[in-house]
Amino acid sequence: MKVALFSTILLSGVLFFASCEQAPKSDDAKTSDAKKVDEGKAEGASELTLDTKASEVSWVGTKPVGKHNGTFAISEGKISVKDGQVTAGSFTIDMKSLKVVDLTDKDMNAKLAGHLTSADFFDAEKFATAKFEITNVAPFKKEDDAKEDKKDNTYAIANPTHSITGNLELKGVKKSVTFPAKITLSADKNEAEAKFNINRKDWGLNYNSEASLGDKFISHTVNIGLKLVATK
C-alpha cells in the first residue's frame, strides 16, 4: 500500500512538471545598466517616422498551468538611417493600450488586462508610457548565437541580420538590452523585427515571482516581440 501510494505521488509530480508551461525558447536579451545615447549618430542621417498602425510590441508570459499573450500599441517613434544603415532611433509604447489576445471570454480577458495594467504589474496609471532608445546597431555575429538549435522560431527570430542595443525604460526603470533582429532597408522604408526574452524582475515587476507559490507562480521570463515599420 505504501509503495502504491508513493508511486501515485511520484507519478502525479512527474505529470505536473511535464505539463508545466515552459518559458519561450528564445534569445535572452543581454541586460545591463543603461548606456549613454550618442546624439551624434543621428547627425546627417535621414529620419523615418514609425507607422504606428503597422508597428507594435507583443508579449508572452508563462506560468505552470499555461500562458498568455498580447500586444501594446506604439504611439510614436522615429528611425535614423545613414549610408544604408540604421544609426539611431526611439519609440514610445502606450502602456494603457495593453491587449490580451489569447482569451476569447470577454470577462476573463478584461480581468487579466485590468490586472496587468494595475499596480501589481505595469501600473499604467502612474507609468502611462514605456520607451526604447537605440544606442548601437551592429552586424549580427553567428558565433554569438549559442542557443540557435534550442530556439522555437515562434518566439525567436530566424536568420537575424543585426544586434540592437538600446535603453528600455519600463515602470520608471531604465536598462540596456541587446538582442538579435532582422532589419530590412529600402529607399524609403525600414522594417525591423525582433523576438527575445527579458527577466521582468530587472524592471521591478515582481508580482508572484516566488517559485514556492506553485501554480500561482508566474515565470520571470517574458518574451518580447517588436515589429517596427518606418517610412519617409
Core vs surface per residue 28-58: b (16+ CB within 10 A) or e: ebeeeebbebeeebbeebeebebebeebbbb
Does residue 16 form part of some domain?
Answer: no
Does residue 8 form part of some domain?
Answer: no
Looking at residue 120, the DSSP 8-state letter turns out to be T
Looking at residue 107, the DSSP 8-state letter turns out to be H
Q: Tell me the pLDDT tens digit for each residue of 7-42.
A: 343 333 433 333 356 789 999 999 999 999 999 999
Residue 76: its pLDDT value, please?
98
* Rg over CA atoms, the chain: 20
- What CATH number should be reported for the domain holding residue 150? 2.40.128.110
With cut-offs at 50, 70 and 90, classify the pLDDT of residue 196.
very high
What gap in Å lies between CA 216 and CA 199, rounded to an integer?
Answer: 18
Residue 215: its pLDDT value, please?
82
Sign of the CA dihedral running 130, 76, 47, 190: positive
Q: What DSSP string describes 16-62?
A: HHHHSPPPP--EEPEEEE-----GGGGTT-EEEEE-TTT-EEEEEEE
Does residue 160 form part of some domain?
Answer: yes
Q: Tell me the pLDDT tens digit for each residue of 99-140.
A: 999 999 999 999 999 999 999 999 999 999 999 999 999 999
User: Pairing between strand 85-100 and 66-82?
Assistant: antiparallel
Does residue 15 form part of some domain?
Answer: no
Does residue 7 form part of some domain?
Answer: no
Q: Tell me the pLDDT tens digit for each residue of 77-88.
A: 999 999 999 999
The contacts of residue 64 (CB under 8 Å, 6+ apart) are: 16, 20, 21, 214, 215, 217
With cut-offs at 50, 70 and 90, classify the pLDDT of residue 59.
very high
Q: Number of structural domains, the chain?
A: 1
Whether the model pTM is above 0.85: yes
Does residue 13 form part of some domain?
Answer: no
Q: Tell me the pLDDT tens digit for each residue of 132-191.
A: 999 999 999 876 665 666 788 899 999 999 999 999 999 999 999 999 999 999 988 999
Does residue 106 form part of some domain?
Answer: yes
Residue 29: its pLDDT value, please?
97
Does residue 5 form part of some domain?
Answer: no
Domain hosting residue 85, numbered range: 21-231
